[in-house]
Structure 1
Amino acid sequence: MNTDASIRILCVDDHPLLREGIAGVIEGQDDLRLVGEASNGREAVDAFRRLRPDVTLMDLQMPEMDGLDAIKAIRAEFPAARIIVLTTYGGDVPALHALRAGAQGYLLKSSLRKELLDAIRAVAAGRKRIPAGIAAQIAENAAHDALSSREVEILRGVAAGSANKVIAATLAISEETVKSHMKRILEKLDANDRTHAVTIALKRGIFSL
């Protein structure tokens, strides 16, 4: 295939070994070409402006500017940008945040060798690419209300093993307020108890330990 017709790719990740691995996978493909790399969100935005890639592979957790903010910045300036998130987070919540920010694809790093090439080609062609399990989670939880930032803080405290009294003191709110928030958390997550709520939150990627 003519090199000029190849899909031009920008790879953004703060781990050099992962970028090297992706470069190795792309290298043998006639229709794909790695045109640039970046190690954080700020570099990603600058590199996108300079290179105008067809597809950008974007990590979420990075120093200086994370992947979510980088996606928003790139899409604000270049609305047609096509971005695939590469992440270790398998829950529906981070996936939904990435898609709402403007990503068209969401891939788990554990499945890159198997799915990366097809995902790049699909997104370059204008299609979305999300793992079936995560898509099913998004659909399953669509009717549930999202936790507020305060509710997430309280659930983090529960996950750390803190009692309501300790959580209340840490957040400078009353113990009754913590109990009230906890009741809403259980309802929103359809959880049986505090431990179940933490388990659901971790599985869905609402927060990580």
Structure 2
Amino acid sequence: MTIRLIIVDDDPLVRAGLTFMLGGAEDLEIVGEAADGREVPELVERLAPDVVLMDIRMPHVDGLTATERLRALPGAPEVVVLTTFHADEQVLRALRAGAAGFVLKDTPPAEIVAAVRRVAAGDPVLSPAVTRQLMTHVAGEQDRPGRREESRRAAITARLAELAVREREVAVAVGKGRSNAEIAAELYMSVPTVKTHVSRVLAKLDLNNRVQIALLVHEAGLLDEEA
């Protein structure tokens, strides 16, 4: 299956470099490019990509806003954020908005190709090291709770209360970074059953992907309860 890809970056040299790198993969097709987030909705509607590589910093509509708007649409393509940072508040916001992960701009070409393939297949692109950094950031927010953070955590706790016991267990395992096979072994269920529970968790919590489940679990402090 050919993966249709759109590249969004305000630097024409970056777009040209990514097109050159990714265009050599037989299963990837660069169907469009954009220099700003405001161009994305029309491109996506017209070209129907499977994945959008999205830069964060752009002059008019940045990649974070563009990602939030795009992922709110039905049938939206997956979004991989392009960044020069390993982890910061902007990347966290992108993941909360529904991005399937992110890649650094200096990532080797083969790894970027692999990331696009993984995201197209429904797997998030987030290394264990980066996950730890992001969760540390989330923990830091919890350690400095303001009224806004407390309100957010209360809302998250209320949402998680909608889950059945087994769904909650699966959500916590996702938060630990477990794969479906690992969750199946840990909770004594089949892999198809795990997939069903993950799908139900996503639907009940109105989330886009496993990364968002992991963030929500960490923000709710469920992993602290497991310790």
Q: Does 1:14 align with 2:10?
A: yes
- In structure 2, relative to structure 1, the CA distance for the partners of 1:148 and 1:73 (3 Å cut) is farther
Give the AA of the match of 1:57: L
Name the counterpart of 1:127: 123
Q: Does 1:25 align with 2:24?
A: no
Structure 2 matches for 1:79-118, cutoff 5 A?
Answer: 79-118=75-114
Give, in angstroms, the shift of residue 113 of structure 1.
2.1
* Partner deviation per Cα, 1:51-92 (whole Å, 9 max, x = no partner): 110010000000110001101111122354201001112224
Give, in angstroms, the shift of residue 101 of structure 1.
0.9
> In structure 2, how many angstroms separate the alpha carbons of the residues matched to 1:103 and 1:65?
16
Give, in angstroms, the shift of residue 114 of structure 1.
4.3
> In structure 2, how many angstroms separate the alpha carbons of the residues matched to 1:35 and 1:15?
18
- Alignment match of 1:56 (pick from 44, 52, 59): 52
**Worse overlay, 66-75 or 138-147:** 138-147
Give, in angstroms, the shift of residue 131 of structure 1.
3.3
Q: Does 1:75 align with 2:71?
A: yes
Give the AA of the match of 2:123: R
Give, in angstroms, the shift of residue 120 of structure 1.
0.2
> In structure 2, how many angstroms separate the alpha carbons of the residues matched to 1:148 and 1:90?
24
Question: 1:92 touches 1:135 (CA, 8 Å); kept in 2?
Answer: no
Structure 2 matches for 1:127-146, cutoff 5 A?
Answer: 127-145=123-141
**Structure 1-normalised TM-score?**
0.64
Give, in angstroms, the shift of residue 148 of structure 1.
9.1
User: Structure 1: which 5+ runs fail to align?
Assistant: 150-209
Give the AA of the match of 2:139: A
Question: 1:107 touches 1:131 (CA, 8 Å); kept in 2?
Answer: no
> In structure 1, how many angstroms separate the alpha carbons of the residues matched to 2:122 and 2:65?
22
Structure 2 matches for 1:111-190, cutoff 5 A?
Answer: 111-145=107-141
> In structure 1, how many angstroms separate the alpha carbons of the residues matched to 2:141 and 2:20?
42
Give the AA of the match of 1:133: A
Question: 1:92 touches 1:134 (CA, 8 Å); kept in 2?
Answer: no
SS at match of 2:72: helix
Name the counterpart of 2:31: 35
> In structure 2, how many angstroms separate the alpha carbons of the residues matched to 1:16 and 1:148?
41
Task: Report the structure number with the largest CA radius of gyration.
Answer: 1
Name the counterpart of 1:169: none
Give the AA of the match of 2:124: K
User: Structure 2: which 5+ runs fail to align?
Assistant: 147-227
Question: 1:83 touches 1:104 (CA, 8 Å); kept in 2?
Answer: yes
> In structure 2, how many angstroms separate the alpha carbons of the residues matched to 1:37 and 1:103?
18
Question: 2:22 touches 2:109 (CA, 8 Å); kept in 1?
Answer: no
Runs of 4+ in 1 over 4 A off after TM superposition: 146-149
> In structure 2, how many angstroms separate the alpha carbons of the residues matched to 1:47 and 1:74?
11
